[in-house]
Amino acid sequence: MVHLTKEAIEQIEGIWKGVPHVDITAHALERVFEVFPWTTRLFKSFHGHFKANDNGVQEHAKKVAHALDLAVKDITGINHNFEKLSIKHQQLGVDTHNFKLLGQAFLVQLAIAYKTEFTPQKHKYALEFFKMVAEGLSHEYH
Ligand code: HNI
C-alpha cells in the first residue's frame, strides 16, 4: 500500500477535478486499445470500434470514469472499495498488467489536457494514483 501525504491527496483531487471525466477516460481507452492492441481482446461487443467517440467506448468510459470518481473520493479506501471490481476483472480474464497500461494512457491524456501545467510533480502524483488503482483492481486476484 502506497502512503500518500495530505498534499498528494489534494493534488490528485485537483488533477481529476480539472478534466472532463468521461471524455478523458474515453480517450485513454482509445489510446490503450491503439497502442496495446491485445487490450481489445475482451471487448468483442465493441465490434471492432475502438475510437473514443464510438458508442461502446463511450458507454464503457462512463463506467470506468465513475469507478475512478469513487477512487478519487476515497483514495485510501481503494483496495476495499474495488474488491468486487477486482473479482469481476479476474473472472473476465483481464491480465493485471493491463491496468498499468491504462494508467499510462491516462497520464498521456492528462498531459495533453494540462499541457505545461502537467508538471513533473503532478505527473508523479497522478502516477501514484493510477498505481493505487491498479493495485486495488489486482488486490483480489489469486
Ligand atoms: Ni474494466 C468492466 C472499471 C481497466 C476490461 N471495468 C468494467 C466495469 C468497470 C471497470 C466499473 C464495469 C463493471 C460491471 O459492469 O460490473 N476497468 C475499470 C477501471 C479500470 C479498468 C477503473 C482501470 C482504470 N478493464 C480495465 C482494463 C481492461 C478492462 C485495463 C482490459 C484491458 N473491464 C474490462 C472488461 C469489462 C470491464 C472486459 C467488461 C466489459 C463489458 O461490459 O462487457
On average, the pLDDT of the chain sits at 96
| Residue tagged 465513475 (cell numbers) | 66
Spacing, Cα 131 to ligand 1 middle (Å)? 16
The pLDDT value recorded for residue 1 is 55
Closest atom of ligand 1 relative to the 36 alpha carbon:
32
pLDDT tens by residue, 45-55: 999 999 999 99
- pTM of whole model > 0.85? yes
Domain edges within the chain: 6-138
Please determine, looking at this structure, whether the domain spanning 6-138 carries the CATH number 1.10.490.10. yes
Which of the four pLDDT bands, split at 50, 70 and 90, describes residue 11? very high
Spacing, Cα 48 to ligand 1 middle (Å)? 17
CA angle 137-2-116, nearest 5°?
90
CB 102 within 8 A of CB 31: no
**What percent of the chain stands above pLDDT 70?**
99
pLDDT tens by residue, 47-100: 999 999 999 999 999 999 999 999 999 999 999 999 999 999 999 999 999 999
Alpha-carbon distances, residue 32 vs 10, 13, 17, 104 (angstroms): 27, 23, 22, 8
How large is the C-alpha radius of gyration of the chain?
Answer: 14
